[in-house]
Structure 1
Amino acid sequence: MDARYTRTDFHDGISRYGASLIAAVAPLAEVTMVISDEDQLRMLPPGIPWITVSAPTSAAEPFLAHQLNPHRPDVVFSPMQTFGSAGRDYGLILTLHDLIYYQHRTPPRDLPEPVRLLWRAFHLAYWPQRLVLDRADAVATVSRTSQRLMRRHRLTRREIRVIGNAPQSVDQPRDPCTVPERSLVYMGSFMDYKNVEDLVRGMASLPDYTLHLLSRITPAREAELRSLAQAAGAGQQRVVFHRGVTDETYVQLLRRATALVTLSWSEGYGLPVAEAMSQGTPVILSDLEIFREIGGSDRQAARYVGLDGDPVREWPERVRELEDPAVFAAASSAAVAQAGTFSWDSSARALVRLAEDIAVRRGRRRRPSR
């Protein structure tokens, strides 16, 4: 299992997805982790065998198979689609999480500049993605929404299976009968399509609430949003920039808040939505297909805001609905139930079944009894 996208300081979405799957798959199959930096081991589950190869941004990436073939893997799984495959002697599962970069082509900021330029060029058309994905035996994605979009755009001739994203397990969700603080949480980037501006503008209608913006942010972007908050009548006491938080602080803020809010114009997945619901925190979301998949059709678990109307007026109204203790309690309980439909265990079992099928097709082993 390719763990080279694991961060060494804190998990981002890809890093957490890969590490969580490794931990869940390890009890079900013989797993070896593929890393490029031993510091990554601090963020990966302990006690699992590992090997070190070149980094995914190395010039050696296209020929990575020459480093892996001697270890004779049955199947290799990567949480990304750019995994080098030339000359491989094993089954390969590549992952395309979503199609968000075809709508918003700004590449991840932590990539080297030459890689960022290639990334942007890669997403100008669909045919490069087809070439990349067709190198695999099968393709994984994290949601039914992404699976449907990949099929619509004919991104691969290979089988596409959902190996879902999931929140981390929660021992005990918050008490739904405890009155929440009048606070709101936003976790996510500050890119334009995240539409944080409408969250800030909406705070003018919620003078008794505080909006916590948790993620890291550049000074220039923070200055833009502070100016907008001031113009909307919501000063720094009501719109708080945390500039990054620990997992512990994130959970504490979620468990006290009235809701997690996000008004993205588009979204790849939205893991913070599932994370909030698993803690028993209601969510208020823009009405997107992927958010409907995560938040469910039961309006108690998630409240949706149409973006073609007046979201700045509408999303504060959804917050006010939760001020009724009975409504909040029902929403909190429904959120926990909906989050329970996603689990790393079920994702791990789906991945192992796919790997077994590929190994059988390639003649590497007999089909296991199930």
Structure 2
Amino acid sequence: MRILFDARFTRLDQHDGISRYGASLIAAAAKHAEVVMLISDERQLRLLPDVPHLLINSPLSPRELFVATRINRLRPDVVICPMQTMGSWGRTYPLVLTLHDLIYYQNPQPPGFLPLPVRALWRLYHLAYWPQRLLLNRADVVATISETTRQLMAEHRLTRRPVRLVGNAPQSDTVVRAPGVEPGRDLLYMGSFMPYKNVESILTGMRGLEGYTLHLLSRITDARRSELEGLIPPGQQVIFHNGVSDEHYQELLRSAVALVTLSRAEGYGLPIIEAMAAGTPVIAADTPIFREVGGEAARYVDPDEPAGFTAAVLALAEPEQWQRASQAGQTHAGTYSWDRSAEQLLEAAAIATVEHAGRARWRPWRR
């Protein structure tokens, strides 16, 4: 099977969640099928596996409306996009589009890196579900990364197409902390600082955690940092890293007492699995998606009760509890792998080819 994979959502400098998801899937799928990547900037190759690639327009370009006419000439067996926005007008190939989550219907603030006109369209797009239905129904198969999102898609009747699970997984090169190494007093938060991420509750919960240091790892604007700095309890240690390398992130994971996240909404929560794979316990908000991802291995707290978060951290100060949580996390993380995700992806691709062929038989004028 010759797969054309849309890698144009890969970041230029450092992965975000979707960027890493796409790059990891490409690497895993390339073991089992012929994969060619579509990129829009050659700098993206620094974060992508060494497989053949083609340079085309940016997915944010007006030319995206007609990108299918160019892809048609490449005669792929199937095209896979890790987003749902890829242009498809006039396509003659099977297409798999991906919907990660429905977060922005409840939290409509768009990502800050998008151009201003795109941010305006983003807000309009998420005012109703019908635009999403139009996008998803252009595909032959829709992929998503969690059962939680798949259930929400069914609840809101977002597509008539088959919906297949193509899961996320931790990095394949995650290094587990050495046996017997005692944790320090570092708490890690990896994620954005958008309001629904609820970093405020983590900061409030630092009250009563004397001797602990909270590391906020992701990039942050000056304005948002000023807002959060005003919430730090007196005397507590909070470090704003404003971005860390993968190597530094792994190093911090292997020494931290816990990774923490009290987000009220999430598409998946990959840092949870990354932490568990490294042997670091997780304290997470008690939400359906975190329950799905973390299973019985994470410790769940009410995201609106900072005192519960504080108590969960203090409970891990007992060596036996920490060791049990660490081992449970490693065991649970072992159930996830990119090879398994690649198998799911190939299954979705095979279904897409069948679905596409069936529709072509009923609409021969589109051949």
Same structural fold, with TM-score higher than 0.5 when normalized by the shorter chain = yes
Q: How many residues align?
A: 354
SS at match of 1:71: coil
Aligned to 1:21: 25
Range 163-172 or range 114-123, more displaced: 163-172
With normalisation by structure 2, the TM-score equals 0.94
Aligned to 2:166: 163
Structure 2 unaligned regions, length at least 5: 359-367
Asked whether the 8 Å contact 2:141–2:351 carries over to 1, the reply is no
1:180 is displaced (CA, Å) by: 0.4
Q: Residues of 2 paired with 1:78 and 1:90: CA distance?
A: 13
Asked whether the 8 Å contact 2:7–2:23 carries over to 1, the reply is yes
Asked if 1:320 corresponds to 2:314, the answer is yes
1:213 is displaced (CA, Å) by: 0.6
1:350 pairs, out of 344, 352, 355, with: 344
Aligned to 1:368: none
Asked whether the 8 Å contact 1:177–1:325 carries over to 2, the reply is no
Flag as ranges the 4+ runs of structure 1 deviating above 6 A. Answer: none
1:290 is displaced (CA, Å) by: 0.3
1:333 pairs, out of 327, 333, 340, with: 327
Q: Residues of 2 paired with 1:155 and 1:361: CA distance?
A: 18
Q: Residues of 1 paired with 2:179 and 2:298: CA distance?
A: 15
1:185 is displaced (CA, Å) by: 0.4
1:56 pairs, out of 51, 54, 59, with: 59
Q: Deviations over 1:75-111 (max 9, x none)?
A: 1000000000000010000000000011111111111
Q: 1:288 to 1:247 in 2, by over 3 A?
A: same
RMSD: 1.3
1:171 is displaced (CA, Å) by: 5.6
Aligned to 1:258: 257
**Aligned letter for 1:90?**
Y
**Aligned letter for 1:285?**
A
In the TM superposition, 1:19-98 aligns within 5 A as 19-46=23-50, 48-98=51-101
1:224 is displaced (CA, Å) by: 1.5
Q: 1:142 to 1:178 in 2, by over 3 A?
A: same
1:234 is displaced (CA, Å) by: 3.7
Q: Residues of 1 paired with 2:161 and 2:355: CA distance?
A: 13
1:291 is displaced (CA, Å) by: 0.3
1:129 is displaced (CA, Å) by: 0.2
Q: 1:234 to 1:150 in 2, by over 3 A?
A: farther
The percent of aligned pairs where both chains have the same amino acid is 58
2:299 pairs, out of 303, 307, 319, with: 303
Q: Residues of 2 paired with 1:241 and 1:54: CA distance?
A: 36
Q: Residues of 2 paired with 1:172 and 1:56: CA distance?
A: 34
**Aligned letter for 1:239?**
V
